Chain A
């Protein structure tokens, strides 16, 4: 049923993405592709992968933006995947019931057996989270690694989405954003996490943390502001060293 769950889901699993620490390495996108091409929505088909006009299905894409002007200009790496919205229009427009939002954790998924490949859900998503697989004829999207996060065959610390597991800068955090006491919710509160395209009213669950204020001045490290002057070397040493000095200076 493509009607949304009655009332907001209490559990809202999602990602918090730190735009301050993301280094734009694309490792999350690569690991996403790696895991998901064998996962719930497998395969993530590639077309002409080693030739010209390569194309393929990816669930995670890393954009890079410049913001601001002159010396205040910031370069911001910007990973983007499905935001598992609270009011996802991609779900309600689906004519077949293939798109759905899970009541138990808020994850938005596609049932590939019901999808007719009309692409309307991808038109309804302002974030570009859905990509059509020409080969399978169905729409595919981020599953929040539903086959990892509940996977009891994996060690507990690996039960996070592939993108989170692989991020070398710890710029991606996974958790329950419906629980105000969760680590991700606290992070959002502390760092002023924000929604993408809030004016459209999709209420995305995933949050983005803004780049921290730029530091124009060095912080206090306890080091002296200026180096103390060195005491000048003795011009004429006395005693044994003086004798050596006089001998060598001859």
Chain B
């Protein structure tokens, strides 16, 4: 599948933004992160900035961006529509939560709402990322997407990057939290395990569809393309026929693993055991994870093979 830059940026940035909102919501509800003006402004500007930039960027790959509002209408059947609805819905509890969290001293009557709003924001953020994952999960023609690893990976990567942003925000205001950092380490390990499981799955499993089932000509024996229908590339080949050399994929997986999981784990661990290093490890963790997750997301598209390519000479889907 063709890795569209706008979609890679959208899922990476908004995933981190929703992860940050969920992390703030849960930890504030549990009383493990104290609300405040500085942390609130920094955290929520960052979170809403990432989410909004991501959502806007996701409209760039549309043929008709001005009609994007129509995409919220089919929530009964379409996960893309559900994602759009949830993305908009999340602004409401998250916006109120951000107000109560940030301007608590000026909103004393709102303090009782901090915990329910935090939990509600976390739930809405999680459902949004869940919907994003489901968009890919339900696409049966793409074996590398239509499997049980995809949605947990999306959720874990969003949680992991969001938690790293929270670590950074706390470090900026010199209030590093051992609980948050420890949770981050667990999230990184979980996300890495899920991604390793996903890569193992796509390496060791095969799609049920073959050139034989695609053409129904398996009764005569092995099926192969003799003549393509056209001499030049068409939309299908450009969009669905994107190929990446296996050796590049291996190299990029190693980059994704190193930048996305190993380095952020080491940097986050450093914030725990060497608080004297201050802000630097938290910043490095975020930058490294951003790069790693973007590479991971690029691979998620580039390594996905579409069933339609069986009609164009692919031997497996």
Contact = CB atoms under 8 A, between A and B. Distances in A.
Contacts of A132: 63, 235, 239
B186 interface: no
Contacts of B311: 63, 78, 80, 127-128
Interface stretch (B108-116, B121-129, B224-232, B265-273): B224-232
B281 interface: no
Contact of A200 (B63, B76, B140, B228): B140
B67 A114 contact: yes
B104 interface: no
A200 B306 CA distance: 13
Contacts of B230: 58, 61
A94 interface: yes
The dominant DSSP class at the B interface is: mixed
Interface in B276-317: 306-308, 311-312
B220 A74 contact: yes
B145 to A, nearest CB: 9
Contacts of A154: none
Contacts of B221: 67-69, 72-73
Interface string A113-125: 0111111101111
B28 to A, nearest CB: 33
A138 B62 CA distance: 9
Interface residues of A, number: 71
Interface string B113-146: 0000000000000000000000100111110000
Interface stretch (A5-13, A49-57, A143-151, A178-186): A49-57
A128 B216 contact: no
Interface of B: 1, 61-65, 67-68, 70-74, 76-81, 84, 135, 138-142, 208-209, 211, 213-230, 232-236, 239-240, 306-308, 311-312
Given A58-B234, A116-B64, A199-B209, 18 more contacts: A3-B76, A55-B235, A61-B234, A62-B229, A67-B218, A92-B77, A93-B135, A115-B67, A118-B61, A118-B63, A122-B236, A123-B139, A124-B140, A124-B141, A126-B214, A131-B234, A194-B216, A199-B208
